[in-house]
Amino acid sequence: MALHIHEAWILLFVLPGLVTPAAINHEDYPADEGDQTSSNDNLIFDDYRGKGCVDDSGFVYKLGERFFPGHSNCPCVCTEDGPVCDQPECPKIHPKCTKVEHNGCCPECKEVKNFCEYNGKNYKILEEFKPSPCEWCRCEPSNEVHCVVADCAVPECVNPVYEPEQCCPVCKNGPNCFAGTTIIPAGIEVKVDDCNICHCHNGDWWKPAQCSKRECQGKQAL
């Protein structure tokens, strides 16, 4: 009886050494919950196509979620085909904008010129100026120059004079008109030769003078 007990103990010490690691089936030993969770997470992050969307920082969004892919992007909705993003009609940037920020869906002008440029000169906002005697201009808040040109009346003479720093011409010798090539004053009859007496039209100084023939002095002498 003692012999059998001794042999049994020998078998118990020998058998564990005969069992190799290859003989252990890992499927018979389920992994810990932590290992399972880690494995599933890696699958989602590594292959998210059709299952989610990823932003620029690597954050994953579920299908149907609304998100911003990046700091300056427009909002998107995650779909099986990838992000479907809004394309709003952004306001136009002013052509004279000097500082544009792209911190949102649409670019935004943060700084514009505080002056206007006109004929090579700079003018402050709301400043008024005269580029020429007949022009009156103002620098608008939009950085654009708006000008008004004076409308001069028709001069009452055929020989108007432009004075320095004056917009419209002036008739220094008063109203007059042409009788042929001769300039005659308005308001009086002028004998331009031995046979013709002329005068200007009333109010229409730019028209040729009206002339009438009289008896010529030469004929009277005969």
pLDDT interval class at 41 (50, 70, 90): very low
pLDDT (tens digit per residue) in 48-105: 667 788 888 888 888 888 888 877 678 889 988 888 888 788 888 877 788 888 877 8
Q: Residue 7 falls within a domain, yes or no?
A: no
The residue behind tokens 């004998």 is 191
Based on the fold, state whether residues 107 and 120 are members of the same structural domain.
no
More reliable by pLDDT, 170 or 14: 170
pLDDT interval class at 161 (50, 70, 90): very high
pLDDT score of 138 more than 60: yes
Based on the fold, state whether residues 206 and 161 are members of the same structural domain.
yes
Distance from C-alpha of 80 to C-alpha of 93, rounded to nearest angstrom: 35
Based on the fold, state whether residues 103 and 57 are members of the same structural domain.
yes
Q: Residue 12 falls within a domain, yes or no?
A: no
Instruction: Supply the pTM of this predicted model.
Output: 0.39
Q: Residue 100 falls within a domain, yes or no?
A: yes
Contact status, residue 196 vs residue 189, Cβ threshold 8 Å:
no
Based on the fold, state whether residues 125 and 158 are members of the same structural domain.
no
pLDDT interval class at 218 (50, 70, 90): low
CATH number (domain holding residue 139): 2.10.70
Structural domain that includes position 183: 154-215
Based on the fold, state whether residues 119 and 165 are members of the same structural domain.
no
Q: How confident is the model at residue 122, as a pLDDT?
A: 92
Q: Which residues contact 104 (CB under 8 A, 6 or more apart)?
A: 72
CA 119 to chain centre: 22
Based on the fold, state whether residues 167 and 208 are members of the same structural domain.
yes
pLDDT interval class at 107 (50, 70, 90): confident
Q: What average pLDDT does the segment 177-204 reach? A: 85
Q: Residue 85 falls within a domain, yes or no?
A: yes
Asked which of 126, 149, 172 is the last residue of a domain, the reply is 149
